[in-house]
Structures are given as structure tokens and as C-alpha cells.
Amino acid sequence: MHETYGDLIRQRKSFRSFRQEPLPEALMEGLIDFLSDLTPPEAEIDWNFDTLPYLDMVKLCSTEPGVKAPCYLILRAERKRFSLQNCGYLGERAVLWLTEQGIATCWQGSVQIRSDADFEGSLPFVTAIALGYSDEPFRKSEAEFDRKPYDKVVFNREEKYRPILELGRLSPSSFNRQPCVFVTDDRQRIHLFRKKSLLPNPVQEFQQCVDAGAAMAHLELGALEQGYTPKFNRMYPMPRFKAGLTYQISVELS
């Protein structure tokens, strides 16, 4: 990468308009190679992906995507605990790779693919990302972010981890709900929690699990940028912090 991970995270944004022109074949091949080489946090969960042009995407969807783009990345995974977080991680890594290539993206959390229209034998659909060229600019500074203050989402604050946690704070989330909370301890670990919905809402819970995966990608890249060798670990017994928070995963820093 020519730019730092932090630079790419600060440049990334959700684009709302795309030029309707195809992406270069070499770029799409590069995206496929990049994703194929990634290992998600829970490596034993089966997953795969497709890249589809707009018209093919519409044929699969129960409603049109939220934004019209020339191409969509579809992420799929078998239905297992933590498969949604895996896809959030993989999708955000792809988004940041595309950001470095100058390609605009937008998560499409509201997309629903009709099971009767889907490809035969496909793994269950999880989420989609719109991608293409845009006339909108990328973000130029962190001041353009609409995010909760640092002290509202980071607890037991260790100042040496602040650069990592700041990148976690900047992770995207469905409808910008920002459900993720980060807790450090004295054993070089960052624990990731997500807020529970106030009322039972399966769709929101689903989306927030994907959001947690995107935050995991930011934490991992932030740790790498600071010279650590991060390792994901789902601890048992699970750490507890505050009521209303669900433990997701821990990042061990060494």
C-alpha cells in the first residue's frame, strides 16, 4: 500500500452517486485476488463472494439497491455464529482496498436478495457493497466524519492505543448508528462490544453484527500501522463490561 491504513480509513466515505461506466477488467481481477487471499477472523466459516453489474443485481433483489452503481460486491456465508461479523470484516477490507484504487463505495445494508431468484447452490446472502467511479470527492479530513466522541465509545482508555482506537471509532455502520464500544485492559488487549437494540429487532441486530466486523477490520489495520502483530481471539468465558453490551471479539496486541 502506498498510503497508510489510517489515510485510507480517513478518506473512505459512503458515496451516494456513481458514474455509470464499467470498471476496468484489471481492477476487478485485482479485487478478486485481494479478497481471495484474505482470511476472516473465524477462518472455519465458509464464505464466498460475487461481483455483479447493476442489471444482474436488480434481477436478484426484492427491491432496487439504495444507490445505482455500475457494480456490486456481494458477500455470502454459511449460517453460523459470527458469519455476519466475518462478512463485515471482509467487506470493509475490500472497501479500503478499493479506496486506495480511487474507487467509490457504499455499503448496501438494506438490500435483500430473493431466495427464488438467487443462484442455485449459493451460500446465504449477507450484504452487498456498491462500487464504481464517482464525481464526489473522497473525504479530505477527519473533521468531515459524523461520529460519537472518543470518550463515549472507548473505555479503560490506554493512551498508547489511542491511534488504533481512533480508527475503530471511524468505522462505518448501518444508518450511522455506531453500535460499537471498545474496552482496553492491562494485558495488551482491546475488547470489542456492540450495543443491543432497545427492542427486539432482528434486522437491526443482523446489520449491527456486520458493523462489528467492519470495526474489527479498522482495529486490525490500526494495530498493524502502529507496529503490533494483532490476533483476533473470542474469549471464553466472555468478558463483561456494561449491561446492554454484547461481547464480539478481542484483539490481542503483541
Interval 162-185 mean pLDDT = 96
Q: What cell was used for 59? A: 434481477
Pick from 74, 80, 22: nearest CA to 52? 74
Helix ranges restricted to H, the chain: 5-11, 25-36, 54-60, 83-100, 150-153, 162-169, 202-225
Q: What's the sign of the alpha-carbon dihedral 119, 120, 121, 123? A: positive
Which residues fall within 8 angstroms of residue 34, CB to CB, at 6 or more apart?
93, 94, 97
State the pLDDT at residue 2. Answer: 55
Pick from 103, 89, 93, 106: nearest CA to 43? 89
Q: What percent of the chain has pLDDT over 90?
A: 81
φ, ψ of residue 13 in degrees (nearest 5):
-155, 170
Residue 116 pLDDT greater than 90, yes or no:
no
Interval 21-38 mean pLDDT = 97
Output the CA angle 128-134-136, nearest 5 degrees: 115
Q: Judge contact between 51 and 31, C-beta under 8 A.
A: yes
Domains of the chain: 5-132 (3.40.109.10), 146-253 (3.40.109.30)
Interval 213-237 mean pLDDT = 97
| CA 132 to chain CA centroid, nearest Å | 18
Specify the pTM.
0.96
Residue 126 pLDDT greater than 90, yes or no:
yes
The tens digit of pLDDT for each residue in 229-246 reads 999 999 999 998 988 999
State the pLDDT at residue 245. Answer: 95
Of 3 and 162, more confident? 162
Interval 206-233 mean pLDDT = 97
Residue 10 pLDDT greater than 70, yes or no:
yes
**Cis? peptide before 237, omega within 30° of 0:** yes
Pick from 212, 245, 251, 248: nearest CA to 229? 251
Q: What is the mean pLDDT of the chain?
A: 94
Residue 1 pLDDT greater than 50, yes or no:
no
- The Cα–Cα gap between 120 and 190 comes to 40
Interval 140-154 mean pLDDT = 92
State the pLDDT at residue 58. Answer: 92
The tens digit of pLDDT for each residue in 44-91 reads 999 999 999 999 999 999 888 999 999 999 999 999 999 999 999 999
Centre a 10 Å sphere on the Cβ of residue 39 and count the other Cβ atoms it contains: 9
Which residue is it, cell 450495543? 195
Confidence of residue 143 (pLDDT cuts 50, 70, 90): confident
Which residues fall within 8 angstroms of residue 26, CB to CB, at 6 or more apart?
none
Q: What cell was used for 251? A: 484483539
- The Cα–Cα gap between 9 and 169 comes to 11
